[in-house]
Amino acid sequence: MLYLLLIFFPISMAFSTFLLRRMPRIAVGLGIGTLIVELLLAIQVRVDDPVRVFGVTMLLSPLHQIFLFLFLGIGIVVLIAAWVFPHGENFSATGLLIIAQTVAILLMQDSFVTALMLVAIALTAVLAIVDLPVGAGVLVSRQILAAALKYLVLMVVAGILLYAAYVLTDLFRPGELPGRISPARFILALLAAGFALRLALVPFHAWLVDLITYAGSLASVLIIALPVPASLLVFLLTLQSYPALLFEGGQALTVLRIGAAFSALLSSALALTAASLRQRLAYLIAGHCGVIFYSFASLSLIGLSGAVFGAINIALAITTVLISLTLLEHAIGGGTIESYNDLIWQRPVAGAGLLAGGLALTGWLPSPGGSAYLLALQAAADSGLVEVFILVAAMSLATLTLIQLTVQYLIGSRSKAIEVEPRLLGETEVDRPSPVRLSPEPWTARWLIIGLIAAMLVIGMTPQTLLTTIEAAVRSLAALSSG
C-alpha cells in the first residue's frame, strides 16, 4: 500500500493544485505539504521488501532509497524557491507529476514500465516548459516553443530506441545460433543511443542547451535534475535484468567508454566558446553527464560507484546553480547578467552558489563532483593512459570555463566607474532615468542556497558515508562484469 501511496498521492494532489493555479501561494504551499508527507511515507517503507502489484514488482533498494530522499528533497527546495520567485501558473501541478513519475521509476522493477515512465516525464516536462506565470500578458515565445518541441521529439525518439532494445532482449537467446553475429552489440547500441539522448551527451545535447537558455530555471531543475539520474538507474536495472548483453557485447563497451570520454571533452570545449552564461552552464552540465556515462560504461565496481555518486552530485549541482541564477536574474530585474561583472560582491550568496555549483560540475574537491571525478579517473586508469588523458583534458577545459565566467561575471571591480553622458539641450536631472539598483536578496532564497552549499560540502567531505551503500548496491553487477 505504501508503494502505491508514494506514486499516486502526489498525482492526486497535482490535480488539486491545478484547480488552485490562480492562487499561486496556496498551490505552492499545498505542493510543499504534499512532498513533506511523501517524505514521511518514504521513511516508513521497508527496504528490500518486494511487492507484486498489477503484475509489476515494486522494490525499494538502499540505493533507490538514497535517490528517493534526494529527489523529494530537491522537490521541496524548488517549491520553496517558487514561493519567492516568479514561476509558471501550473508549476506546482506539473512539478508534483514529474516527482510522482520519478518515484515510480525508482520503485518499479520492470524495464518496459520504467521506459514508459521516462516518456511520460517528457510529456509532463513539455507542459512545464511552455507554462507562463499567472496573469501573463504575453504569449509563449518562439524560442521556448522550439525548445519544448525539440525536447519532446528527442525524448520520444529515445523512448522508441529503448523499447526496440527491450523487445530484442526478450527475443534474444544467448548461444542459440553459434557462429552467427550476436545481436548483443546492436541491442547495446540502441540502449546507449537512447540513454545518451536522455543524458545529453554530445552530439545529443541540443535539447539541454535550449532548455537552460530559454526555459524557466525552476522548471529546468525538475526537468533535468530528476530524470537524468533516474535514467542512469534505469540503465543499471536494464543491465542487471539482461546480463547476457555484457557477456556477448564484445568491444561495444569499449566504444561506449571512449565515446563518453570524447563527449565530455567536446562539451567542455564548447563551454569555453559559448556566448552566454546560461549556455556555458548547460555545456558544463553536459560535460559532467559525459563523465558519468564514462564511469558507468566502465562496468567496474569503482566506475559504477563513481557514476552513481556523480548522479547524486549533478542533481545537487544543477539545483544549486539554477536557483542561484534565478536569484541573480530576479535581483537584476529587467537587466541582463551580461551587463555585470561584479555579481559576487553585490549578491554574495547567489554568486557563491553559482561558484559552488560550478566547482561541483567541474569536479573539484571538496564538492561531491571531486569524488565522482576521482572515481572516474581510477576506472580510466584500469583501461589505459589515453582515456585518463581525455578525462583530464575535459576537466581542464571545464575548469578554464569556470574561471572565465567567474572573472567575467562574478569578481570584477566592485567600484566600477559609471560613464555619465553629457546633458542634452534643455535636459535636467529630473529628466534623466534613475540608475539601476539591484534589489536585495530574499532571505528565503539565501537560506536555500546556503543549505544546498552545506549539503554539497558535507557529502563532498564525507563521501564514504554514501559510497558504502552505493558499492554494496552495485557490487553484484561489478562482480558479474569482472567474471
Domain boundaries, the chain: 254-415+439-482
Contact 216, 143 (CB under 8 A): no
Nearest CA to 197 out of 300, 115, 255 is that of: 115
Residue 447, phi then psi, degrees to nearest 5: -70, -30
Contact 469, 62 (CB under 8 A): yes
What is the model's pLDDT at position 408?
A: 82
Interacting residues of 370 by C-beta distance below 8 A, sequence separation 6+? 363, 364, 460
Contact 189, 181 (CB under 8 A): no
Contact 152, 122 (CB under 8 A): yes
Distant-in-sequence contacts of 113-117, Cβ < 8 A, 24+ apart: 113/56, 114/234, 114/237, 115/159, 115/162, 115/163, 115/166, 115/234, 116/159
Distance, CA of 415 to chain centre: 37
Nearest CA to 373 out of 365, 69, 346 is that of: 365
Listed ranges 123-137, 169-183, 209-223; the one with the highest mean pLDDT:
209-223
**pLDDT grade for 418, boundaries at 50, 70 and 90:** very low
pLDDT in tens, 284-340: 999 999 999 998 888 788 888 888 899 999 999 999 999 998 888 876 765 566 666
pLDDT in tens, 67-92: 999 999 999 999 999 888 877 888 88
What is the model's pLDDT at position 185?
A: 77
pLDDT in tens, 154-197: 999 998 898 888 888 777 665 555 555 567 778 888 888 888 88
Nearest CA to 200 out of 105, 329, 288 is that of: 288
Which DSSP category does 407 fall into? I
For residues 210-225, average pLDDT: 88
Predicted TM-score (pTM) of the model is 0.88
What is the model's pLDDT at position 416?
A: 47
**Is the pLDDT score of 431 beyond 60?**
no
Nearest CA to 352 out of 323, 377, 332, 372 is that of: 323
pLDDT in tens, 327-341: 888 767 655 666 667
Q: Mean pLDDT of all residues in the chain?
A: 82
CA distance 255 to 183: 16
